[in-house]
């Protein structure tokens, strides 16, 4: 491989510029299909055009920058990308780093006169965050055929807006059918959004799988009674029962050998009065595991615990399934390449699991896929304090460059 290198300054400057785009009162909230999202899309489209890429938009608003000869008979393109929509009051790296690194890599190859065997596609998928429209990772899901385009366009947002109408309004309802190009492979470079690489001082994560996610809402029904006059033995305290569940799921995830993480993030008591025994506790249980059988075992164990608790405490317990995504295994061949390239660059590297959802999990349905992670300081994400030092950003993009070079030259 000819020695070529990304334009580090250009990448970092674009990250800063996209980071500033659409900010209001110093807050970065480029929520999908908002005016701020349009501004971000306009900037990225301009850069794709500047780089001489062939810009295409599909019906769900996914934005693609094509490089190389695309023909039905020719080889399938390698996709590289992520998303540029954000949560409310977001950081500047989540998603944007992947899209801009993809652009940087393709632009670098193009400027260096490299003509890889396979075309390259820089992808910015619509509505990865899912803040305004559910589900999240929608653009890649629709692209991978997992969600119908007409159904997606009809989705109603949290603000009552219709997704398709907002897409038209901001000018990103494109003509291409989602899935119009069949990827040979998909690679996504992303900040970890977790503390592992930062805590361990490792520069590159070769992401080999993505945790399955199980979300449930648990509702416990007890009896509201006076906190002073009701003897302990006569209580049906929904709050105490909830505390037992929080303890159970946490302790199970803590157990030696467990690969789960478990979180109770939301809770509400009724009537929520200082001197009234809670008649109702509603809370969420977020279970994740890279191994589906283990996640299933965790769910079963929870169900069993709830049944027993209901009997013991005389409370009613019901659960509602909110989300269940199976774990995703990435392509071992690509993961091995990432490891090897990182080592060639003298970078420390470890295989790891993605705890967060990414467009890569949807693209993995239709092509060999993997992800590269770089550290997130203190694991902070979805927050203006999200930060990855420039040397780590550059290291990640360099690994991506070599990886794409290799994948694009594959038969």
Q: By CB under 8 A, name the one of 227, 329, 347, 366 that touches a second copy.
A: 227
Which range in 52-60, 117-125, 167-175, 219-227 contacts a second copy by CB under 8 A? 219-227
Least distance between a second copy and beta carbon 388 (Å): 14
- Count the residues in the chain: 411
Least distance between a second copy and beta carbon 3 (Å): 35
As a whole number of angstroms, the distance between CA 23 and CA 29 comes to 7
Which position has the token pair 């279970």?
287
Kindly report the number of other CB atoms within 10 A of residue 290's CB atom. Answer: 20
Contact characters 286-325, a second copy, x per CB under 8 A: x-x---------------------------------x---
106: Cβ–Cβ under 8 A, 6 or more apart, which residues? 51, 53, 65, 67, 80, 120, 122, 404
Which range in 37-45, 171-179, 250-258, 399-407 contacts a second copy by CB under 8 A? 250-258
The counts of H helices and E strands in the chain are 12, 14
Q: By CB under 8 A, name the one of 201, 229, 256, 257 that touches a second copy.
A: 229
Q: Where is 358: in which H helix or E strand? A: none
Asked if residues 401 and 108 have their Cβ atoms less than 8 Å apart, the reply is yes
Q: By CB under 8 A, name the one of 7, 39, 161, 263 that touches a second copy.
A: 263
Binding to a second copy by residue 256, rule CB under 8 A?
no
Q: What is the CA radius of gyration of the chain?
A: 23
Exposure class string for 363-393: b at 16+ Cβ within 10 A, else e: bbebbbbbbbbbbbbebbbbeeebbbeeebb
Q: By CB under 8 A, name the one of 230, 310, 319, 406 that touches a second copy.
A: 230
Least distance between a second copy and beta carbon 326 (Å): 14
Residue closer to a second copy by CB (options 96, 224) is 224
313: Cβ–Cβ under 8 A, 6 or more apart, which residues? 222, 236, 237, 240, 241, 244
Binding to a second copy by residue 385, rule CB under 8 A?
no
Q: By CB under 8 A, name the one of 12, 54, 382, 410 that touches a second copy.
A: 382
Contact characters 50-69, a second copy, x per CB under 8 A: --------------------
- Residues lying near a second copy in the complex (CB under 8 A) are found at 192-196, 199, 211, 213, 215, 225-234, 237, 239-240, 242-244, 246-247, 250, 253-254, 258, 261-269, 272-278, 284, 286, 288, 322, 354-357, 379-382
């Amino acid at each position: 491989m000819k020695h070529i290198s990304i334009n580090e300054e250009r990448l970092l400057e674009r990250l800063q510029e996209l980071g500033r785009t659409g900010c209001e009162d110093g807050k970065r909230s480029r929520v999908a299909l908002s005016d701020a999202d349009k501004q971000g899309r306009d900037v990225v489209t301009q850069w794709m055009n500047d780089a001489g890429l062939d810009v295409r938009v599909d019906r769900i608003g996914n934005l693609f920058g094509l490089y190389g000869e695309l023909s039905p008979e020719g080889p399938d393109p390698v996709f590289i990308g992520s998303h540029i929509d954000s949560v409310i009051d977001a950081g500047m790296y989540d998603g944007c780093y992947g899209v801009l690194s993809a652009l940087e890599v393709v632009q670098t190859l193009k400027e260096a006169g490299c003509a890889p065997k396979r075309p390259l596609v820089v992808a910015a998928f619509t509505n990865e965050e899912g803040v305004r429209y559910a589900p999240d990772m929608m653009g890649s899901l629709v692209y991978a055929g997992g969600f119908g385009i007409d159904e997606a366009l009809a989705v109603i947002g949290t603000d009552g807006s219709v997704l398709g109408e907002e897409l038209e309004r901001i000018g990103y309802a494109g003509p291409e059918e989602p899935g119009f190009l069949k990827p040979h492979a998909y690679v996504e470079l992303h900040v970890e959004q977790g503390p592992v690489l930062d805590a361990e001082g490792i520069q590159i994560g070769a992401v080999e799988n993505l945790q399955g996610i199980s979300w449930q809402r648990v509702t416990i029904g007890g009896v509201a009674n006076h906190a002073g006059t009701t003897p302990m033995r006569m209580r049906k305290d929904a709050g105490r029962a909830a505390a037992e569940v929080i303890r159970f799921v946490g302790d199970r995830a803590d157990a030696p050998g467990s690969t789960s993480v478990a979180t109770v993030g939301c809770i509400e008591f009724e009537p929520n009065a200082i001197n009234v025994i809670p008649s109702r506790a509603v809370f969420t249980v977020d279970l994740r595991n890279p191994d589906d059988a283990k996640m299933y075992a965790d769910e079963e164990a929870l169900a069993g615990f709830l049944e027993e608790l209901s009997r013991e405490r005389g409370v009613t317990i019901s659960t509602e399934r909110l989300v269940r995504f199976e774990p995703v295994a990435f392509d071992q061949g690509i993961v091995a390449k990432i490891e090897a390239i990182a080592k060639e660059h003298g970078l420390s590297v470890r295989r790891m699991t993605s705890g967060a959802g990414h467009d890569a999990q949807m693209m993995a349905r239709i092509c060999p896929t993997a992800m590269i992670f770089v550290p997130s300081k203190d694991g902070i994400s979805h927050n203006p304090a999200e930060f990855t030092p420039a040397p780590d950003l550059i290291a990640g993009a360099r690994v991506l460059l070599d990886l794409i070079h290799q994948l694009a030259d594959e038969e």
